[in-house]
Every structure is written in structure tokens, then in C-alpha cells.
A and B are shown apart, each in its own frame.
Chain A
């Protein structure tokens, strides 16, 4: 059986999916029966879910995303042109 410390370690690391089936069962049972671990599990899961959705949003659209200034872009282009010349294409 799991202690609360073992459960919270596993939930925080997010490695419960890698546990063998029997251990995963007892971990889930502990989370169902223990009020404190149940609440903690929900906090961790909600946090992970929210971050996952945020990263999907980042990848698809971000209208207020900050942009490089034109001056920064020009400097970068000049730098990349110089560096590229050191690695000529075949």
C-alpha cells in the first residue's frame, strides 16, 4: 500500500503512468480513499491540464505575442549571413 508521501511524490513527478499495473491500481485506490491525496491529485491534474491547453494555444495562435523590433531583425540577418558564409553549401 502507498503512503501519502509516496502518492504525492508520484503525482508531482507525473510518473504514475510508468508504474506497473498493480501499483497504479493501489495508487488510484489511495487517491480515491484519502481526502487529502484526492484534493492534491485534483490540483496537480488541473494544473497539468491547464498548461497542456496553454501550450496548444501557443502553438496555434497568439495574437498578442511580442515581436522582434526591425532593428533587432536587421542585426540578426546580418549576423546569420556572416555565419552562413562559414558553412558553405555543397
Chain B
């Protein structure tokens, strides 16, 4: 008669044996190349940088393959590696074009209200349409993807790292070499610009 702990041990052993099939690296380009490239493009918005990221990801994946335990789909494992490569690309881009605080942002950072509350605007404009009603429409997300392009650097980099890659505030500040206060300002700018772009493209009206 098997005890409860014997059964539990058997279940754990079975689960550890149910590993995902590991596709050989020779097949990765056809299987995952476009997926990873699309992901890199949505974050970096630069075809050359995205292609470099894909190459670096595959090469790093080959080196690390023997440490991969097969516990999840290799596509997502490669995407995890790619995430680090994307951050490296952004860090490199920022080193080449150092983030300079423009006059408008500097004024905002110095404003009494921002220093007191950490809030950039007390009265955000209401949406011209209800975005939640568009969430089930796949076209909306294609438009959203295009509108991210309308967000100017460095706000776009801050948006990608914080909102799309879910990096912690401290990490983003380290990568971009900025203070947390300036990160809040950049995210505020990103939200504003994305909102204007979405309203224009989705409703077809020039809202400026």
C-alpha cells in the first residue's frame, strides 16, 4: 500500500520528467527568429539593433543550452535572454546619446507642486474615447504598437523599460543614469504622448 508521501514523491518525479522537447539550435531561426525579431523591434524600434539582439540572443542561447533544464518552452527561455540583450542595447544607446533634461522637464522637476507631491499634472485631459472598450479589438493593439513610435526618446526608453519590461524603478534609473524624479517625469511625458497619438490614430481626429 503506497503512503501519501510515496504518492506525492511519485507525482513530483513524474512532473520533473515531463520536460519540454528542446529543439536543436539549427532550427531556432525558422522556429523563433520572427517571434524574437518582432519582440525586439517593439522594444527598440530600430531594425539593425533588433537584428543584432536576435543574433546575440541565439549565440548566448547556444552557450547556455546545456544549463537549460527544459522546464519551459525554449521560446520563452530565449525571450528571457533577449530581454537582457534589449536592456544592454538601450544602455549602449544612452551612453552614446546621454539623456539630457530639456528645459520643459527641468521646469517641471523644479516646480513647487512636483517637488511637494511627485505628481506632474493635477488635471490630465480626459480620453477622447474609452480605451477599455477597444481592448478586445486586435486592431487597437496594432495601432498601440505603432503609437509607441510617437513617444520621443528618452521618454520612450523609460516607458519600454518600466512599463513593458516591468523593470524596477532603481534598475531603470541605473540603466538610464537618471534620478527617480526624472523617471516619473519621463513616464508622465510618455503617457501624454502615447495618449495623444492613440486618440489621433484610433479616432481619426487631429486632437491637437
Interface positions of A (Cβ within 8 A of B):
3-5, 7-9, 12-13, 35-37, 39-40, 43, 46-48, 50-51, 53-55, 57-58, 61-68, 72-73, 76-77, 79-81, 83-84, 87
Known: A62-B38, A68-B33, A83-B62. A4 touches B26 (CB 8 A): no
A76, B58: Cβ atoms under 8 Å?
A: yes
Determine the main DSSP class of B at the interface with A. helix
Are A5 and B28 in contact (CB-based, < 8 A)?
Answer: no
Interchain CA distance A5-B97 in the complex, whole Å: 31
Distance between Cα atoms of A35 and B65 in the complex (Å)? 53
How many B residues, CB 8 Å from partner?
A: 47
Q: 27 A-B pairs, CB-CB below 8 angstroms?
A: A4-B117, A4-B119, A5-B117, A8-B117, A8-B118, A8-B184, A9-B118, A37-B119, A40-B119, A46-B131, A47-B163, A50-B131, A50-B144, A53-B135, A54-B164, A55-B164, A58-B38, A58-B42, A58-B141, A65-B41, A67-B34, A68-B51, A68-B54, A76-B33, A80-B59, A84-B24, A84-B62
**B121: shortest Cβ distance to chain A, in Å?**
8
Nearest opposing residue in chain B for A90, CB measure: B66
Q: Give the Cβ gap from B145 to chain A, nearest Cβ, in Å.
A: 7
Question: Which residues of A lie under 8 Å from residue B122 when comparing CB positions?
Answer: 35-36, 39
